[in-house]
Amino acid sequence: MLKNKYIIIALDGAAGSGKSTTATALCKKYKYIHVDTGLHYRAVSLHLLNLNINPESTPEYLLSSPLILSSKLDEFSAQLFVDGIHYPKSDLRNERMNREVSYYARLPEVRALLLEYQRSLPDFCKGLGFFGIIMDGRDIGSVILPDADLKIYLHADLQVRQKRRLSDGEHDSISARDQIDSTRKIAPLTCPEDALSLDTGKLPLDQVLHLISLKIASLS
């Protein structure tokens, strides 16, 4: 286990590719902090919805009333607070938010707000005494943390990912999410050229963790 070097890992992939499962297992093994940036976009989107701010009005609203983002630690996870409010996963991962989040997440103003916050998290986690951070999302290795020590890209067949989502109780359209994520003008989903690309539809979790662990060991 690497205890002398603080490791920054960027973990990207489409919906249902296994990012959260992989990140959670690695964080427990190496005492890293997990940051799920998908929840960040959902939390900001829900906060704006609760304020009755629709996507069309969001740019003007954020210009006049910028949101205050802060973090608190919850075991191996850094929790986002929006204007002092933390939204539980049950409020963020449901059919309503599956439907709404993409309309807010593709706004330049929302992405700029979260870009600054997300780039501050490696230092926040290091200051808490952790040995590393795994930040997962759609544009971590390409935009948020382009200088990460290790970049990983998880992918799987559409049917495999859809089945996983259904088993988690989520019924959103994976193909529709893929289309939005890969074609948006700002920070589209892409596999960084220097990323370790793994097919989680063909590789079992223990093999995925083994291959990533080999990469982590090589960073010493």
- Structural domain count of the chain: 1
160 inside domain: yes
- Domain membership flag for residue 105: yes
Please indicate, yes or no, if residue 185 is contained in any of the structural domains. Answer: yes
In a domain, residue 165? The reply is: yes
Q: According to the model, what pLDDT value does residue 88 have?
A: 94
Domain that holds residue 57: 7-215
In a domain, 1, yes or no: no
In this predicted structure, what is the pLDDT of residue 2? 45
pLDDT along the chain (220 residues), means of 10: 77 90 94 95 98 98 96 89 96 91 93 96 92 94 96 91 73 65 72 94 96 93
Whether residue 209 is contained in a domain is answered as yes
Handedness of CA 89, 93, 97, 101 (dihedral sign): positive
Structural domain contains residue 23 = yes
User: What pLDDT score does 180 carry?
Assistant: 67
**CATH code for position 180:** 3.40.50.300
pLDDT in the model for residue 157? 86
| Any domain includes 70 | yes
Task: Map residue 84 onto helix, strand or coil.
Answer: coil
Query: What's the sign of the alpha-carbon dihedral 190, 196, 201, 206?
Result: negative
pTM listed for this prediction: 0.87
